[in-house]
Structure 1
């Protein structure tokens, strides 16, 4: 009987995934909740495993992949528990004949929920108002007390109208919002009609939108997609929402735009140098900050973990992982 495959799980994940993995292999797992292994620790532990189940906060670079490919047993698959996989050097993995998989689709609705929640919270100044009340400063209703931006009937600009961007547009329809979108190419007419989307250029979208929501993957082409020039095109009353990836926005340029009143506010789930945040953002009342929780519902995270495990199970059984991203 052949030896059972060795599987390394780099961070504590929802429980359902472990039963799938234990059924097909020998599992070594980081069971300390909230603990992320350093690159050095990961480099020490990963070689000698057939499969690696990792998360977006793990750096799987060419050096690590090379060590894992030359070890015995050699690494066969990196299963990322995320839709994005910019934490993995996919080209290096492909050169080493290591498959890479992700967990697309299942977190789209949950992420769109959080993006719209950030839009509402920033527009209506909810965290600021709550802090005010909790501090005992509320002495009664006032006609100008925490007046915020109107959401219904306003214009939403969506940059990146993939699954999540389209679902953001679906939520906007309930608020009778006009929705513009910018993509590298136009969507099919039936999708535009279904989500009431109007295509436009990036500059046009930025200058016309009351809210700009980012839903692009991170790549060299989207690094600092929103920088000083783009922020200058936005309305002084506009709000930027980012649930995509932190480096899509030039964070220092965003700080300057917020400080100068070039734009009115921002709702951010991700940060350029995560987990570090530009210190100036932390003290701004017109910014809503949350710690990368777009997919953080119990149901979604459990399904993500299970899907990552299912990719490993498929490979062990001689099948192509259903969510493999490289050939």
Structure 2
């Protein structure tokens, strides 16, 4: 009978991570590259010493009870922690690790991609090439969009990702960067950004980019009131957390031309149901949470999440622990 620790993996991760775990553990894996059904999660975690999970799985009392008292460590392949009951993990002395830092560049690139897709109306342009609209221009402003050149970009949350986004936008000729958040950041001088109140950022920005982390204070931060303060020509991009946005208010703002367009890589819930009315809007580009979806970033995340788990199983400090 094997004495190696048991790790349950809720979805296959890149081979470098799986190989690392298999070299020292008995690994049980939900084999599909899809969200694990709840009943399979509760079954699979039974008797596990370690759990490798993803943001799509809610790790609550039911899951921890199903796992049993021997569960020592949870590694989440994410920066976001909303799916974890951290207080309960702490009370049960379960160590939790996550994967910050390694997805900064990939998420920043995705943010810029969504910003360009919305400002240059790429969704509408692609549709025109497919449905026969190409060549039917009736004026010189057909599918004309916005330029970043000489614009003001407002970044809500100038952390690692927010700064990386701004640095990538500088070569486009952005005239001014504004940022808001809990406090001024010393690194804002790297991009010449001005710290302003949230309302001032909304009122003065041509592009509003959400890069803030989730906490109880900013849940639903982008709501009817916020959208009403933005320019009618403003574009909103969110690659941070879906719960930052009141999606019904966003739908209203886009449908009534309160704002020009939006690009979303995160939604509530995920996946967003296919009948959600946001999908029907030409001025809303939605992608399926691709922020970290590069081979380099995902391999780095797999490496880090598995090192967290192995350290926890051995009683060693986790490389990237979640403060509990």
Q: Do both share a fold (TM > 0.5)?
A: yes
In the alignment, structure 1 residue 82 sits paired with structure 2 residue 81: no
In the alignment, structure 1 residue 120 sits paired with structure 2 residue 116: yes
Answer yes or no: is the 8 Å Cα contact 2:56–2:270 preserved in 1.
Answer: no
What's the offset of the Cα at 1:326? 2.9
User: 2:248 is matched with which residue?
Assistant: 252
Partner residue of 1:198 out of 191, 194, 204 = 194
Q: How is 1:1-327 mapped onto 2 (pairs within 5 angstroms)?
A: 3-34=3-34, 36-70=35-69, 74-139=70-135, 143-177=140-174, 178-188=176-186, 191-277=187-273, 279-327=276-324
What's the offset of the Cα at 1:136? 2.8
What's the offset of the Cα at 1:289? 1.1
Q: Deviations over 1:175-203 (max 9, x none)?
A: 22111001111112xx1211221100000
Answer yes or no: is the 8 Å Cα contact 2:304–2:319 preserved in 1.
Answer: no
Answer yes or no: is the 8 Å Cα contact 1:231–1:254 preserved in 2.
Answer: yes
Structure 2 SS opposite 1:313? helix
- Of stretches 40-49 and 113-122 in structure 1, the one that deviates more from structure 2 is 40-49
Structure 1 SS opposite 2:124? helix
Q: Deviations over 1:160-188 (max 9, x none)?
A: 11110111111121122111001111112
TM-score of the pair, normalised by structure 1:
0.94
What's the offset of the Cα at 1:318? 3.1
- The root-mean-square deviation of aligned C-alpha atoms, in Å, is 1.6
- Of stretches 205-214 and 39-48 in structure 1, the one that deviates more from structure 2 is 39-48
| C-alpha distance in structure 1 between counterparts of 2:204 and 2:301, whole Å | 36
Structure 1 SS opposite 2:74? strand
Q: Deviations over 1:78-106 (max 9, x none)?
A: 10001111111111101111011100001
Structure 1, unaligned runs of 5 or more: none
| C-alpha distance in structure 2 between counterparts of 1:136 and 1:233, whole Å | 37
| C-alpha distance in structure 1 between counterparts of 2:241 and 2:312, whole Å | 29
| C-alpha distance in structure 2 between counterparts of 1:18 and 1:287, whole Å | 37
| C-alpha distance in structure 2 between counterparts of 1:66 and 1:316, whole Å | 19
Q: Deviations over 1:219-276 (max 9, x none)?
A: 2222101111111000000011010111100000000111111101100111122212
Deviating above 3 A after TM superposition, structure 1's stretches of 4 or more consecutive aligned residues are none
Structure 2 SS opposite 1:224? coil
| C-alpha distance in structure 1 between counterparts of 2:31 and 2:46, whole Å | 19
Structure 2 SS opposite 1:271? coil
The count of corresponding residues between Structure 1 and Structure 2 is 321
What's the offset of the Cα at 1:32? 1.6
- Of stretches 42-51 and 120-129 in structure 1, the one that deviates more from structure 2 is 42-51
